[in-house]
A = this chain, B = another copy of it.
Amino acid sequence: MHAGSPKSPGRTKNGLGLETDDWMDISVPISDGMVTWPGDPPVRILRLTDIEDGDDCTLSALSMSVHTATHMDAPSHFTSLRHGIDKMPLSAVVGNARVIEIDDPVSITAGELRGHKIKKGERILLKTRNSRERWDRKPFDESYVFLSTEAALYLVDRDVLTIGVDYLSIGGYGGNMAEVHKIILSAKIWVIEGLDLSRTGPGLYEMVCLPIKIDNCDGAPARALLRPV
């Protein structure tokens, strides 16, 4: 079915824009025992009752770090700012977003970002070598591509609204992890981590990324969608 066909009104009929069939899900699935940040509590999905066991319904409980799978960080995660994820303005995650493909196989550098003419208020998703495989199905990879400290400072200087990355942290493992979080979150840039950009080329998209609204929390799991502009 294509946009504009009778069952899919498309983005202009009646002025309505959402009912197209080109939304792509860029969230990774949450599954029991999946990769997490080392030391974080494991993901547990516990089936409390099950129709296949003769119960009246199937009912599951979820237990995990809020920084699991595709998720967002609030400023309170690494700063003394009290902004929890429930205080995030919807404008941070609903609107245009640009996917930038990063060539450097080690880190995202300020030099490489400079070539992309990033503008104030942009939502930037950074696709790296991490997206060459479905990292969410593998053990933790200490050598994921991360944001260099200089690149973090550059994004603050550019005054971006939101950044997204394709592994579990914006900062490097055993390196600048805390530093990069402090730089980005102190500037109240909203952070999406754990995206699946494996099927997403560079370019401009419309994005909706909605974290669940956990009261006064340092982060939350999120569902993220893109469609081409």
Contacts and interface: CB of A to CB of B under 8 A. Distances in A.
A229 B16 contact: yes
Contact of A217 (B45, B64, B94, B181): B45
A63 interface: yes
Interface stretch (A101-109, A146-154, A206-214): A206-214
A220 to B, nearest CB: 8
A211 B223 contact: yes
A108 B159 CA distance: 49
Interface stretch (A54-62, A110-118, A125-133): A54-62
Contacts of A208: 18, 94, 208, 210
Nearest to A27: B213
A17 to B, nearest CB: 3
A11 interface: yes
A222 B212 CA distance: 6
Contacts of A221: 212
A61 B56 contact: no
Contacts of A211: 223
Interface core residue of A17, A28, A60, A121 (most chain B CB under 10 Å): A60
Interface in A11-48: 11-12, 14-19, 21, 23, 25, 27-32, 40-41, 45, 48
B11 A58 contact: no
A77 interface: yes
A218 B59 contact: yes
Given A57-B77, A210-B222, 15 more contacts: A12-B15, A15-B229, A18-B207, A21-B91, A25-B213, A30-B213, A30-B214, A31-B214, A41-B61, A58-B78, A59-B77, A61-B63, A69-B212, A208-B210, A212-B221
Interface of A: 7, 11-12, 14-19, 21, 23, 25, 27-32, 40-41, 45, 48, 51-52, 56-67, 69-70, 76-80, 86, 90-91, 94-96, 121, 178, 181, 206-208, 210-219, 221-223, 225, 229
27 contacts: A12-B15, A14-B229, A16-B95, A17-B18, A17-B206, A18-B94, A18-B208, A21-B91, A25-B90, A25-B213, A29-B213, A30-B212, A31-B215, A45-B214, A45-B215, A51-B78, A51-B80, A56-B78, A56-B178, A59-B66, A59-B67, A60-B65, A60-B66, A60-B217, A61-B65, A210-B222, A222-B223
